[in-house]
Structure 1
């Protein structure tokens, strides 16, 4: 899917993001992987404003 619509920013929000999820998200070009408690408007603002890197935004949560 990332090859078809690469310009659509993706943020994954989960109750409990796993290390496997971060690795898969990074290879798929996901902007952020966050827990529900961490998610807020600043992440949406960042991806809509083009302030994301391909892997720089992947955030390890809960470790």
Structure 2
């Protein structure tokens, strides 16, 4: 079954409170989506503002609008 993504590559996002169980120290950080993942556990690879590359589920991210 194919995955459908809400966010596009290049979108700016912020990590929300849903990720506090997986990686609590990244909550509230901003980043940019650099790729989509076709795995069951994660949806996106995000490059955070501090240079860290992390994987997140869609529910753990909020899109930043300009």
**Shorter-chain TM-score range:** under 0.3
Q: 1 or 2 for the larger relative contact order (CA 8 Å, sep ≥6)? A: 1
Larger fraction in strand: 2
Taking structure 1 as the reference length, the TM-score comes to: 0.28
